[in-house]
Amino acid sequence: MLVSVVPFEEEHYKVLSTLENENELDIWNDIHRNDSVHVMFNRTKSSWLMPLFETLHMKPELMFNDVQQLLDQEEAVFRAQARSGSPRGIQDSFYSYTQLSDWLNQMAAAYPQLAKLQSIGKTYENRDIWLIKLTSNSGAATKKTAFLDFGIHAREWISPATGAYIINELLTKYASGGDAKTILDSWELHIVPVLNPDGYEYSHTRDRMWRKNRKVVSGTCVGVDLNRNFGYKWNTGGSSSSACADTFHGGSPMSENEAKAMENYMTPRQWTTYLTFHSYGQWWFTNWGYTTVDPPQYALLKQKSAIGANAIKSVNGRSYTIGSSAQILYVASGGSEDWTRGTLNILHSYCLELPPTGGTGFIAPVSEIKKTGAETYVGVVAFLKSF
């Protein structure tokens, strides 16, 4: 079952974190003070969890009595699509890792003047971590550089789908001019559509709610939370040392193949901006996740975020909240945007949490691919054009 609770003091944060670390529940969205936090747990635990939340005055409310029913409905849509025999486009389906890999290769072959595809590393299960570099041969002599990654958490399917949407828009619309041409004539975009291929594939084939990668950590525990594994201020709060926990930070900073692949690719190069895309909640976070202290040039970071967020809102009316994640939510160390800011010194390092703010959460309907993709593309374009 999926239940909404409202934490409003530090004790509530500790209770939720402890329950998650002990695998009593699964926190879906980011823990936010005085706002709805969505927690999933087995119905057999409701007899003690619901009274606990009531006693703590956390206003527990049932959102979905049967999450499995949501998963079954999602699976039924995929089966119906498969039975129809009609080809499923990149904007009409949540592609598996293999389908996405094939599509990237097709796009790189179809647009050789604009796209170059390479593997920047291998996962624990030996899958390629694909990076597609998008830029034109014309325009500025010295181009600005952006690194964008998607799908660091396996179950956040709308993230890789949005990354693919952005790639598709830029490549297919370049020839007709407009924003696609403006961006690719002035920027090099280095895009990783799925940073966590093993976890993403596992979420498609075995466990839809899987979050981490798939490295075997111990006899019974599998996976590291990649967004707690990055090396700047690693393990200083908001992550778990328990190997079975969803927020397990790994045995050491940058221990995971996926983090190392980013490190090896990004470190030798100069970057104008870094964007990482998660779901869900509709947040545009600046760096610092590890501390509630203002990040350097905080006013400028919020100003840039607002340009993107306002453009997003202009499409479908959906609002994003702006600020540092530690100030708005709670401290979480080991995030990629803190590492790109703190270690690589990329001032403009941001994390976007894509829609929704509630509803079915991670289990977004296929119709969200175009809706979220379109507004995010507009927001990213406006953000990039502001440099």
CA distance 246 to 362: 15
Residue 288 resides in a domain: yes
Q: Are residues 204 and 317 in the same domain?
A: yes
Give the predicted TM-score (pTM) of the model: 0.91
CATH number of the domain that residue 159 is part of: 3.40.630.10
Q: Are residues 181 and 233 in the same domain?
A: yes
Q: Are residues 173 and 245 in the same domain?
A: yes
Residue 71 resides in a domain: no
Q: Are residues 35 and 105 in the same domain?
A: no
Q: Are residues 111 and 210 in the same domain?
A: yes
pLDDT digits (tens, 9 = 90+) for 351-364: 999 999 888 888 88
CA distance 22 to 133: 41
CATH number of the domain that residue 45 is part of: 3.30.70.340
Whole domain around residue 207: which residue ranges? 93-385
**Cβ within 8 Å of residue 88, ≥6 positions away:** 81
Last residue of a domain, one of 50, 65, 80: 65
**In angstroms, what is the C-alpha Rg of the chain?**
20
Residue 49 resides in a domain: yes
**Residue in 350, 352, 356, 351 with CA at minimum distance from that of residue 371:** 356
% residues pLDDT > 70 (the chain): 98
Q: Are residues 251 and 343 in the same domain?
A: yes
Q: Are residues 368 and 267 in the same domain?
A: yes
Residue 72 resides in a domain: no
Higher pLDDT, 265 or 138: 265
Q: Are residues 10 and 147 in the same domain?
A: no
Last residue of a domain, one of 47, 65, 83: 65
Q: Are residues 7 and 105 in the same domain?
A: no
Q: Are residues 241 and 101 in the same domain?
A: yes
- Largest CA-CA distance found in the chain, in angstroms, rounded: 65
pLDDT at 87: 61
Residue 82 resides in a domain: no
pLDDT digits (tens, 9 = 90+) for 17-61: 889 888 899 888 888 778 899 999 999 999 999 999 998 999 999
pLDDT digits (tens, 9 = 90+) for 100-132: 999 999 999 999 999 999 999 999 999 999 999
The number of distinct structural domains making up the chain is: 2
User: Which of 41-50, 79-88, 214-223 is predicted with the least confidence, judged by mean pLDDT?
Assistant: 79-88
pLDDT at 33: 76
| Catalytic option among 74, 258, 353, 375 | 353
Residue 86 resides in a domain: no
Q: Are residues 52 and 131 in the same domain?
A: no
Residue 17 resides in a domain: yes
pLDDT digits (tens, 9 = 90+) for 225-241: 999 999 999 999 999 99
pLDDT digits (tens, 9 = 90+) for 130-167: 999 999 999 878 999 999 999 999 999 999 999 999 99
Can 353 be counted among the known catalytic residues?
A: yes
Residue 373 resides in a domain: yes
